Structure 1
Amino acid sequence: MAMLRCLWCLLLGWACAVQAGPVPLGRLPDTARPLQYTLNFRLDPAAAGFSASAAIRVELREPADHLWLHALELEVTKVELRDAAGKRHPARFSAQGDSGVARVDLGAILPAQTLTLSFDYRARYNSQLEGIYRTVRAGKPYVVTQMEPISARRAFPGFDEPRFKAVFDVSLDIPAGQQAVTNTAQSGEEKLADGWRRLRFRSTPKLPTYLIALAVGPWDIVEGETIAATRWRSEPVPLRALAPQGEGPRLKEALAATPAIVRALEDYFGYPYAFGKLDLLAAPDFSAGAMENPGLVVFREALLLLDANSPTDLRHSSFEVNAHELAHQWFGDTVTMPWWDDLWLNEAFATWMEGRITGQLRPAQRADLQRIAAAQHAMAADSLASARRVRQPIGDNGDIEGAFDSLTYGKGAAVLGMFEAWLGENVFRDGMRAYMKKHAFANATSDDLIDALAEAGDKDARFGKAMRSFLDQPGVPLVSSRLQCSGGKAVLQLHQQRYFPAGSQGSGEQRWGIPFCVRTGKDGRQATQCQLLDQASATMALDGGCPDWYLPNAQGRGYYRVALLPEELQHLTAAAATLDDRDQLAFADAIKAGFGRGDVDAAAVLAAAGRLADARPREVALALQNELVWLRRNLADAQTRPPLDAYVSQLYLPRLRALGYVRRAGENPDDALLRADLAELLGRKVENAEVRAALLQQGKAVLQPDAAGRLRFGAANYDLLGTVLAVTVQELGAPAVEALIVELAQNNDASLRLSMAMALGTTTDPALGERVREFAVSDAAKISETARILATHQYEPRNRTALWQWLQRRYAQVVARTPVFVHGNLPELLSEGWCETRQAAAVAEFFGKNPLQVSGVAQGLRRAQEAITLCAARRERQGTASLAAWARGQAGK
């Protein structure tokens, strides 16, 4: 009807308008598509904001008198339209409140054609690390960007959706003494008035808006090793890294690691790095760990600025995050999802590839064990009835921001690993290569990928159905098994349903296509066999007769939890020490899953922990530490806590004593990491007096100021620094808190700042707690530090009541001082650890009102309520009898 009206108007020569309809708060209509952006920014880091111009060449795909696009908090001073014939038309720009959507009226109904929209505008630098923002380090201001997921609209008017890929031409006007970079190499420069310069940059390949990046400031720019041409790429890739002024020498380690990562990725995908040059930038403040902008990867500075004092876990994280972000140059940057419901195609693949590349280039970092641990962490989140799907329908901005969670990253990566194992590594790689080549510089969906994998593996529809079962429905499968042995034959009876912890109201009637693999042991020999479990119930005949024990989910490759009969679990527990590392982690999750359901009691958890405590890898030795801490905090009382603490110390203190508390020249990095984990468990979580005394000794030495009045961090083992400072704050109180706050006002090192900030959050003194909470929302804390301080504060049970009361008074300040990525998680972050149903009601009442209309809070609130309720249900289900009986048994030894 609207189109008929338009034609009638045109015939009569009337300038009638098509009815606007509602503001498109989800996807934009397909009326127009951007082809090319020409952007010029005038950026002075010392100013409060910037001015800019944007010209967008647009394909108008049908007659229209207006367009919808995205813009937020931009003051547009001029808008102009030029049609395909070059004729200029008046146009009008109108922002639609704070929706992030804007309407451009074209002045008349224009036929389908290619036209150009031009805007002049200005905006303030963002204050929450979004869009184009300003940050200060060592008294010097810098401008950095973070466009993902929907903050490009804060930087320029445009079509801010991943399906709208276009070419970008960027120029930057900057003052004297500044350096500037963007996604592509600089192509030209001209002098402007007052010492300013205009830098021009090469055209980008087709990119979505969320990948556009720029940075301006007095950067140190360090040249790295040029990444030489390969059989996949005929041209070398220039490599550089940028750091805040004076920090350039600390870029060496990350630069040295990068060429091998790029080459390994090219070899896997059979496709070249496609973005001409590669810059790594250490941002003084950043909302995420890093961001995969093609040609200009931005990192939180602690991940790039490394030296001899950097903690071992930070060095490992630097490599892993670098591999993750560089993997995105293929998955996400070269091939892009069309809409945010397929975000997992970006993040799960980068997470999965991060582990693959780390395992290939740095096998000692045990990425295989980290992958299993990450999958188990995701399964814990996926066990909630409120868990979302990996491919969750996206309706609004809150849904988009809430999609960046452990399910997208950890579950998605685990599902990929499971089906890679099912297809075989080479077949899986062939499918990935075909997908990459077919969709390069375009958009692709989950179905496109599944089809490519199925074709590579010559699989029928059953494969696609199985893979989609993990992507298109929430939850984690529970496979219950029962061994039947008769006449020399052994058969497993299998049944699948959705896993839920005790107290959940969720329905278990779901089905998956599960690549199920079982490990068996008989007479000292072990074997593995697999089959696809895609029915509610099935049988599996075991080769070799009746085993002494069996472990479902062999090697921890499957994304499912398991339940064994009590006597079968006892046989497996007895054999746990003979399993390899990956199988031991799978065994640990069987204990966790049973403990959550109430099928495994406290005594069984403690027995299992004892079986794993001597394992060489720290991931295995400490696999059940969260369960031990939960027992201590939620079930133990004055009678049972001392024997529980003594048992944990008996398991782990000898290993810490053997390692000592100081770094040893040339020591294995695994020893450094194990030392740090043991010190945290025993010193902070179990509060062992011997360990706390050793840590406090280092802390007191740190607090002794040097000649310049600064703290002496070198007096502590840098691997233990966070735990050292936390124990020192708890033991010394006000002198330690005030010393750290004074140092934070002067210290710019991101790693040291984080250790100090989080240590402040561990105080349990009521008066100091108020001091720390107010510090967290003051300008003295960086935007990226506020949530970490408060989360650490919440972790200490003695702080929770005071923090909850404070939050209700200062919620607006918390929202203002945290990045948007955090907002949807605030209900969980600020209620973690509560185990009383009355607190679930209080959380629901406060966040349910959501007076500030904070985006994404509804999802986080559902998860927070359920987590609190389930903790209370688990405590009731477990009761104290098993722990008390275990404690009596310990007393009798």
Structure 2
Amino acid sequence: MQRFIRPLFFTALASCCAGAFAATPNDQAPHGRLPAWAVPQSYQLAFKVDPSQAEFSGVTTIKLDLKQAADHVWLDGADLRVSKVTVTEANGSTHDAKYVAAAPKEGVARVDFGATLKPQQLSLTFTYSAPLNQQLQGLYKVSHAGVPYAMTQMEPISARFAFPGFDEPGFKTPYDLTLTIPSDLTAVANTRQINETAAAPGWKTVAFAQTRPLPTYLVAFAVGPWDIANGPDIAPDDYRSEVLPLRGVAAHGEAHRMQHVLSETPSIIHTLENYYGFGYPFGKLDLLAAPDFAAGAMENPGLVTFRDWLLLLDPDSPAQYVRGSFNVTAHELAHQWTGDTVTLAWWNDIWLNEAFATWMQQKVTMKVHPEYRADLDRVSGAEKAMQNDSLTSARTIRQPITGNGDIQTAFDGITYQKGAAVIGMFEGYVGESTFQKGMRAYIQAHKFGNATASDLVDAIAAAAGQGGTFKHAFDSFLDQSGVPYVQAKLEQKNGKAVLQLSQDRYLPFGSTGNTNRTWGIPVCVRYGATDGVKTSCQMLDQSTGSMVLPDAAAATWVMPNADARGYYRFSLGKQEWAELTRHIGALNDKEQLAYADSIDAGFRKAQWNAGEAMAALKPLTSVATRDVVVAPLDTVEWIYRNEAVTDAQRARVVAWVKDAYLPRMQQLGYQRKPGENSADELLRSELANVLALEFKVPEVRAALLKQGDAALAKQADGHLSLDAANPDLLGMALAVAVQERGKPAVDTLIAELPKTTSPDLRNAMLTGLSAVEDPALADQVRDFALSQQVKVGEMAMILRGSHATPAARNGLWTWFTGHYPQVLARTGSFAGGMLPGLVGGGGCSKAEADRLQAYFAPRLKDISGADRGLAQTREQTLLCAALKSRQDPAAILR
């Protein structure tokens, strides 16, 4: 037990009652979850916020259930200057307590009561002040057009920067919020405003309705001269009896650009309500375009916040922004059910939020905008996750949490895309309607509370009439890392075609991991039959198995991942690969993506040489579907960057690319066409980018340079003529101009960026600056990235553009190690874990891996979560070096 100097009254209280209850806990500052013997019941939050100032003040009252006798409680608070803590006991008596920052780096604090209190319902009231955060977390300060705003981002563990509390998802309570703000500003929050009163001269106090039970990470509000645009009210339906008010919130002068996303939102809400059989429960819905933001968007109930370019759209906005806007909006609104209505109990189950929102977003998009091909996004997203999941340092979907760093690095492709792919795989196994029945039961059983992975899997299993085998199969993907590798070999037995199957863990060449691992895999195979094409499925839950293919043709072809529904890679014998390649046109486009991924997987295992891989991938470049057309590029770019070492080898790769893609680029042209679909606009952008900036094809660069020069021309008002370029190609055009024109182009863009508030134009200019190749200019641009003219959330756009060549990576490394303190000062805890990859990504030599390890290892104490980022970036670098040493560059010319 810790000793404290107690006032006489409290000593007497403790003495008289000591025999009536247990001794106070004898514990140390928690480094993970807070103890469960003190549980919050509700919060009253009062803030005084002026965005023009450096600090804010607050008063927080927490009603608390003290479940056992204690002389202290543990809670969370970071960078808070607490001037007073008052304890109000169940009998109404009050006395002062002491706030102690017990573990400042982790944001853990202790409140000492001054006496041992018996179990009871009590209240803690904190009076404090704190800085408006400069790293986009907690209650932070941003600016737009030189005007300050204050807003929140609490996830994952940043509420502790805004108010003292129990900053964990399992503690879910209602909140009452009041904001005292300058009289000429506007405030928005999770719930509707219910009152406004005058405060001190020049100030007003705004009160908001009590929230539904929420964890701290979903509390949200914003203060500033916001513009508010009313959207269409969302009509009642079978699951919601009240009209749902919809608004768009943006920085001053910008809300008119939100009409497109507001017009799309009712269809998203209705689709989600119809799927879950449960009406949107949070009373009102505001979508806020944040002037600066660490994440893409955040699902705060009633006040969903986004990076501004996702919401501020014009009629000529790039197709990638329009599609991205819908997809991200669908994702965040899906969270209103999975994440907000039902919340994970602890961060090891963050996939219950993010994987399900990703999976549901794709279902919504396929229903409302089938032309966006979210079914292909599912496949390509899973395949990107497999690249990370092939590392021995990959995390599991359901990742044990050992500290704050594990929480902060859990928001990755494993949680989002792998999780969504696994959900989709088991949805396909039990059937969509059955899976929906399970999801509805899960939401109803845990609404406004918390849930675990077992709760979800049990609900699906019950709906499907499945037992332990199904649960074990599902858990095998949740609780172990890695990509299953299904090897298939076709045999003829007793006049029947039999597919012999085996599984282990996929590992690329050079990996030190153990391949001995099994999953419960729903394997579905499509094959050529005597009367067409058929599909056969079975659960492969042992290391080997077999599957009879009824009515298979004598010389059949086999696609071992039908509809690319399964989260696994596959391998075939040489004859089976040859047959599958010959029948590439018989595959649907999802299967063609799976084919491309498994060719790439074989190449990275050194089972294919460069020439063989390029030949096997070439047929995909002539299909109609955009996603499939560009699928070979990751493999071919790797060969060009890392394997092609002579002029002849590099010329051979460029010739392959030109033959595959230049005719399509010329057909598309460099300007939009009347009535053109968005898929063609996206393909034009993707091909222009790879042909001009990766493979430096002269005719494509010339066309883009013409647009870049036009965009850099000064208008009469002194601004650039950025609208002179095709909006879809503006960033690439500026990139080519920077590379060809050098310092004049760089200086022009650096001068223009601070004068530009439009987020899409800023993004294009940052893309141009990130492409600089001259070493001196590259350092100039990186120095600019550290200035206040570049937003915190924009800085990485510049730095990640320096990975293409060893010279560029060396230049970035030298600059970074000379500016480490400045970079660290601008990145918050949410982004810190990404630093090793940001400055060390793309490496392909042991020397690069070694310098990364030597530099970051002693600095891990400075950067929460960077240990995982370091391990994965180092492993990727060593694997690249191993494959490079194994491959024979001469094979490129064969």
Normalising by structure 2, report the TM-score.
0.97
In structure 2, C-alpha distance between the alignment counterparts of 1:174 and 1:726, rounded to whole Å: 43
In structure 2, C-alpha distance between the alignment counterparts of 1:797 and 1:691, rounded to whole Å: 25
Match of 2:687 in 1: 678
Of the candidates 35, 44, 47, which is equivalent to residue 50 of structure 2? Answer: 44
In structure 1, C-alpha distance between the alignment counterparts of 2:486 and 2:415, rounded to whole Å: 23
Match of 2:378 in 1: 371
Q: Is the 8 Å Cα contact of residues 591 and 605 (structure 1) preserved in structure 2?
A: yes
Of the candidates 569, 588, 592, which is equivalent to residue 596 of structure 2? Answer: 588
In structure 2, C-alpha distance between the alignment counterparts of 1:368 and 1:770, rounded to whole Å: 41
Distance of aligned partners of 1:649 and 1:12 in 2 relative to their CA distance in 1, 3 Å threshold: closer
In structure 2, C-alpha distance between the alignment counterparts of 1:870 and 1:734, rounded to whole Å: 37
Amino acid at match of 1:583: E
In structure 2, C-alpha distance between the alignment counterparts of 1:748 and 1:827, rounded to whole Å: 30
Match of 2:823 in 1: 814
Match of 2:8 in 1: none
Q: Is the 8 Å Cα contact of residues 9 and 15 (structure 1) preserved in structure 2?
A: no
Match of 1:619 in 2: 627
Of the candidates 805, 815, 827, which is equivalent to residue 814 of structure 2? Answer: 805
In structure 1, C-alpha distance between the alignment counterparts of 2:853 and 2:806, rounded to whole Å: 20
More divergent stretch after superposition (803-812 vs 70-79)? 803-812
Match of 1:889 in 2: none
In structure 2, C-alpha distance between the alignment counterparts of 1:507 and 1:806, rounded to whole Å: 38
Q: Is the 8 Å Cα contact of residues 641 and 805 (structure 2) preserved in structure 1?
A: no
Q: Is 1:66 the counterpart of 2:75 in the alignment?
A: no
In structure 1, C-alpha distance between the alignment counterparts of 2:806 and 2:264, rounded to whole Å: 41
SS of the aligned residue for 1:194 comes to coil
Match of 1:490 in 2: 497
In structure 1, C-alpha distance between the alignment counterparts of 2:85 and 2:658, rounded to whole Å: 69
SS of the aligned residue for 1:792 comes to coil
Match of 2:475 in 1: 468
In structure 2, C-alpha distance between the alignment counterparts of 1:372 and 1:860, rounded to whole Å: 25
Match of 2:193 in 1: 186
After TM superposition, the runs of 4+ consecutive aligned structure 1 residues lying more than 3 A away are: 5-20, 795-798
Match of 1:148 in 2: 155
**How far off is 1:523 after superposition?**
6.0
Distance of aligned partners of 1:17 and 1:89 in 2 relative to their CA distance in 1, 3 Å threshold: farther
Q: Is 1:23 the counterpart of 2:32 in the alignment?
A: no
Q: Is 1:543 the counterpart of 2:550 in the alignment?
A: yes
Distance of aligned partners of 1:6 and 1:264 in 2 relative to their CA distance in 1, 3 Å threshold: farther
Q: Is the 8 Å Cα contact of residues 348 and 398 (structure 2) preserved in structure 1?
A: yes
Match of 1:53 in 2: 59
Of the candidates 265, 275, 278, which is equivalent to residue 258 of structure 1? Answer: 265
Amino acid at match of 1:62: Q
**How far off is 1:779 after superposition?**
1.6
SS of the aligned residue for 2:764 comes to helix
Amino acid at match of 1:421: G
Match of 1:530 in 2: 537
Aligned CA-pair RMSD:
1.8
In structure 1, C-alpha distance between the alignment counterparts of 2:546 and 2:680, rounded to whole Å: 44
Amino acid at match of 1:448: D
Amino acid at match of 1:673: L
In structure 1, C-alpha distance between the alignment counterparts of 2:783 and 2:889, rounded to whole Å: 38
Match of 1:744 in 2: 753
More divergent stretch after superposition (524-533 vs 298-307)? 524-533
In structure 1, C-alpha distance between the alignment counterparts of 2:583 and 2:411, rounded to whole Å: 39
Match of 1:415 in 2: 422
**How far off is 1:82 after superposition?**
0.4
- The percentage of aligned residue pairs carrying the same residue is 48
Amino acid at match of 1:270: G
Q: Is 1:395 the counterpart of 2:402 in the alignment?
A: yes
Match of 2:39 in 1: 33
Q: Is the 8 Å Cα contact of residues 6 and 17 (structure 1) preserved in structure 2?
A: no
In structure 2, C-alpha distance between the alignment counterparts of 1:8 and 1:335, rounded to whole Å: 41
**How far off is 1:793 after superposition?**
2.0
SS of the aligned residue for 2:113 comes to strand
**How far off is 1:681 after superposition?**
1.2
SS of the aligned residue for 1:508 comes to coil
Match of 1:715 in 2: 724
Of the candidates 92, 95, 100, which is equivalent to residue 101 of structure 2? Answer: 95
Match of 2:207 in 1: 200
SS of the aligned residue for 1:475 comes to coil
Match of 1:428 in 2: 435
Q: Is the 8 Å Cα contact of residues 652 and 893 (structure 2) preserved in structure 1?
A: no
Q: Is the 8 Å Cα contact of residues 784 and 819 (structure 1) preserved in structure 2?
A: no
More divergent stretch after superposition (158-167 vs 802-811)? 802-811
Match of 2:114 in 1: 107
Q: Is the 8 Å Cα contact of residues 786 and 822 (structure 2) preserved in structure 1?
A: yes
In structure 1, C-alpha distance between the alignment counterparts of 2:827 and 2:844, rounded to whole Å: 26
Q: Is the 8 Å Cα contact of residues 649 and 889 (structure 2) preserved in structure 1?
A: no
In structure 2, C-alpha distance between the alignment counterparts of 1:710 and 1:541, rounded to whole Å: 68
In structure 1, C-alpha distance between the alignment counterparts of 2:534 and 2:642, rounded to whole Å: 39
Amino acid at match of 1:629: E
SS of the aligned residue for 1:855 comes to coil
Q: Is 1:726 the counterpart of 2:732 in the alignment?
A: no
In structure 2, C-alpha distance between the alignment counterparts of 1:717 and 1:126, rounded to whole Å: 38
In structure 2, C-alpha distance between the alignment counterparts of 1:7 and 1:380, rounded to whole Å: 62
Match of 2:388 in 1: 381
SS of the aligned residue for 2:551 comes to coil
In structure 2, C-alpha distance between the alignment counterparts of 1:17 and 1:804, rounded to whole Å: 56
**How far off is 1:713 after superposition?**
1.1
Q: Which segments of 5 or more consecutive residues in structure 1 lack a partner in the other structure?
A: 886-893
The count of aligned residue pairs is 884
Normalising by structure 1, report the TM-score.
0.97
Match of 2:291 in 1: 284
SS of the aligned residue for 2:141 comes to strand
Q: Is the 8 Å Cα contact of residues 13 and 115 (structure 2) preserved in structure 1?
A: no
After superposition, what is the alpha-carbon deviation per residue over 1:163-207, rounded to whole angstroms, capped at 9, x for unaligned?
Answer: 000110000111021110100001111111213111110000100
**How far off is 1:128 after superposition?**
0.4
Q: Is the 8 Å Cα contact of residues 15 and 109 (structure 1) preserved in structure 2?
A: no
Q: Is 1:82 the counterpart of 2:88 in the alignment?
A: yes
SS of the aligned residue for 1:830 comes to helix
Q: Which segments of 5 or more consecutive residues in structure 2 lack a partner in the other structure?
A: 3-10
In structure 2, C-alpha distance between the alignment counterparts of 1:18 and 1:550, rounded to whole Å: 67
Match of 1:888 in 2: none
**How far off is 1:10 after superposition?**
5.1
Match of 1:232 in 2: 239
Q: Is the 8 Å Cα contact of residues 141 and 148 (structure 2) preserved in structure 1?
A: yes
In structure 1, C-alpha distance between the alignment counterparts of 2:18 and 2:440, rounded to whole Å: 56
Match of 1:270 in 2: 277
Distance of aligned partners of 1:547 and 1:520 in 2 relative to their CA distance in 1, 3 Å threshold: farther
Distance of aligned partners of 1:121 and 1:556 in 2 relative to their CA distance in 1, 3 Å threshold: same
Distance of aligned partners of 1:877 and 1:191 in 2 relative to their CA distance in 1, 3 Å threshold: same
SS of the aligned residue for 1:822 comes to helix
Distance of aligned partners of 1:645 and 1:840 in 2 relative to their CA distance in 1, 3 Å threshold: same
Match of 1:628 in 2: 636
Matches within 5 A, 1:153-164: 153-164=160-171
SS of the aligned residue for 1:184 comes to coil
**How far off is 1:134 after superposition?**
0.7
Match of 1:138 in 2: 145
In structure 2, C-alpha distance between the alignment counterparts of 1:345 and 1:10, rounded to whole Å: 48
In structure 2, C-alpha distance between the alignment counterparts of 1:393 and 1:547, rounded to whole Å: 48
Match of 1:700 in 2: 709
Q: Is the 8 Å Cα contact of residues 277 and 440 (structure 2) preserved in structure 1?
A: yes
After superposition, what is the alpha-carbon deviation per residue over 1:5-51, rounded to whole angstroms, capped at 9, x for unaligned?
Answer: 99995556899983642100100001111111001111111111111
Matches within 5 A, 1:646-657: 646-657=655-666
Amino acid at match of 2:615: A
After superposition, what is the alpha-carbon deviation per residue over 1:436-465, rounded to whole angstroms, capped at 9, x for unaligned?
Answer: 000000100000000000000000100000
In structure 1, C-alpha distance between the alignment counterparts of 2:860 and 2:467, rounded to whole Å: 51
Q: Is the 8 Å Cα contact of residues 268 and 429 (structure 1) preserved in structure 2?
A: yes
Of the candidates 553, 557, 564, which is equivalent to residue 556 of structure 1? Answer: 564
Q: Is 1:668 the counterpart of 2:677 in the alignment?
A: yes
Distance of aligned partners of 1:10 and 1:560 in 2 relative to their CA distance in 1, 3 Å threshold: farther
**How far off is 1:852 after superposition?**
5.7
**How far off is 1:139 after superposition?**
1.5
In structure 1, C-alpha distance between the alignment counterparts of 2:116 and 2:200, rounded to whole Å: 42
In structure 2, C-alpha distance between the alignment counterparts of 1:556 and 1:524, rounded to whole Å: 23
Q: Is the 8 Å Cα contact of residues 106 and 404 (structure 2) preserved in structure 1?
A: no
Of the candidates 202, 210, 219, which is equivalent to residue 226 of structure 2? Answer: 219
Q: Is the 8 Å Cα contact of residues 812 and 852 (structure 1) preserved in structure 2?
A: no
In structure 1, C-alpha distance between the alignment counterparts of 2:777 and 2:861, rounded to whole Å: 28
Q: Is the 8 Å Cα contact of residues 682 and 688 (structure 1) preserved in structure 2?
A: yes
